[in-house]
Amino acid sequence: MASEARRQRRLRRPKFESRLLVLALVAGLPAVAATLVLLLVGGFAARTVWTLAGFIVVWWAVVSVALRDAAVRPVQTLSNLLAALREGDFSIRGRGARPDDALGLAFLEVNALGDTLREQRLGALEATALLARVIEEIDVAIFAFDAGEILRLANRAGTRLLAQPGERLLGKSAEDLGLARCLREESPSGFEQAFPGATGRWEVRRSTFRQRGLPMQLLVVTDVSRMLRQEERQAWQRLVRVLGHEINNSLAPISSIAASLGEISRRAPRPPDWDTDLAMGLEVIAGRAGSLTRFMAAYARLARLPPPQRAPVDVGTWVRRVASLETRCAVRMESGPDVVISADGDQVEQLLINLVGNAVDAMREAGGAVAVGWEVSAGALLVWVRDEGQGVADTGNLFVPFFTTKPQGTGIGLVLSRQIAEAHGGTLTLRNREPGPGAEARLVLPLG
């Protein structure tokens, strides 16, 4: 009721033009009235009084109307300019724009607003055209559904996936298109499904946006089968290359020694040092076979890392215990804040043992000190191990399985450590210190 009353009052309120005319008439009324009184009491002839009175009243009315029009017409012009801008016509400009006049300044600002809006619209149109072109050409199926799960947009990859032209797809529901599972399930990524245009393993990503104020759902469907097959092929190639290299390194001397022993055994009579050669050959064969066995055991250990069994781990106790286990040289502790993380105690202890052991090995060759400490930064735990050795010559191969720079190394310590870190949602990096000397291993684990 109150809003209706206010609306009625606004409707009864006189227009701007009428109010302006009334104000102009009221402004001139005292002077006109005073003039007419002077004419009546001045003793002038009646004809003169009526002539002058009529002229004054007409002049008063004409000037008031002209004043009203002079104020209303620029306002109407500004309204037309703003209406053109609202309708998207940015080509119209107001005349008389000048900075030293109040009305001219208003026209100047409206013209500048038109230029700005025209540039913004041009930029928006170019960006929209580029986005539409990218969406159309990208090799990922993209769909947009409204609140009723009705398809409103599909790119070229999406039409290929559903094996129908775009004009036949638009307006259909997600249920009819076979995309309801992708829209409704919480985590449909990495699922197998046969679409009309393709079959494979798919990753789905969903997000929301608004178009003309209405909520929309964006659905991106990516075929990961090809990528997975490529990664699997590369993994097999790396596996075969590493296994072949190590097996050949062991089989080559075994085959050579076995051939030599076979040739000696066929001689008649056998050499007097036959027994010594046989024992030495069998010893080499046994050593290489044992080395190959240890290699395969190390590889199996790397491939069978169990998932972490999380429990509260006090960081200070964990780091001090690992530092105390190292007996080859003293490890300097730099304590950080008291913090407890959720982790597999055995796995993270083995991880830190590997890092400290590598630092001590580097120090044994170059001399110096090893330091270990921790800190909390950006909501994560940072554990670092620093040495003062010669640094790492080839940082690119540090985490390649079975790559090692130590004569008796297996090449799995850092790889296993990084797997443990990633299984806990963290990262492990190793880099040369700047300024040196030495290297620094940085383990980052989430606090949650």
Listed range (94-108, 268-282, 394-408) with the worst mean pLDDT: 394-408
The reply to whether omega before 269 is within 30° of 0 (cis) is: yes
Q: Regarding the domain with residue range 311-446, which homologous superfamily does it belong to in the CATH classification? A: Histidine kinase-like ATPase, C-terminal domain (3.30.565.10)
- What pLDDT sits at residue 183? 81
378 in the Ramachandran plot: left (φ > 0), alpha (ψ -120 to 50) or beta?
left
Residue 312 pLDDT greater than 80, yes or no = yes
Alpha-carbon gap, residue 60 to 66, rounded angstroms = 10
The pLDDT value given to residue 281: 76
Block residue for tokens 């306002």: 75
The pLDDT value recorded for residue 410 is: 46
Q: Where are the domains of the chain?
A: 2-86, 138-223, 230-303, 311-446
Does residue 169 have a pLDDT over 80? yes
Among the residue ranges 3-12, 228-237, 311-320, 425-434, the one predicted with the least confidence is 3-12
Q: What is the pTM of this model?
A: 0.43
- Range among 92-96, 101-105, 378-382 rated most confident: 378-382
Please report, for residues 55, 96, 273, 376, 427, the alpha-carbon distance to residue 423 in angstroms, rounded to integers and kept in the order given: 100, 72, 56, 20, 9
Q: Quick one: residue 214, left, alpha or beta (phi over 0 = left, psi -120 to 50 = alpha)?
A: beta
Please write the tens of the pLDDT for every residue from 392-445.
Answer: 665 544 555 544 555 444 456 677 788 888 888 888 888 887 776 788 888 999
Does position 72 have pLDDT exceeding 50, yes or no? yes
CB 140 within 8 A of CB 222: yes
Which of the two residues, 164 and 5, has the higher pLDDT score? 164
Please give the biggest Cα pair distance in the chain: 171
Question: Is 184 a residue whose pLDDT tops 80?
Answer: no
Mention every residue, 6+ apart, whose C-beta is less than 8 A from residue 377. none
Assess whether pLDDT exceeds 70 at residue 87. Answer: yes
What are the pLDDT digits (tens) for 210-268? 887 888 888 888 887 767 667 666 666 666 665 666 676 667 777 777 777 777 777 77
Q: What is the mean pLDDT of the chain?
A: 78
138-223 folds as: Beta-Lactamase (3.30.450)
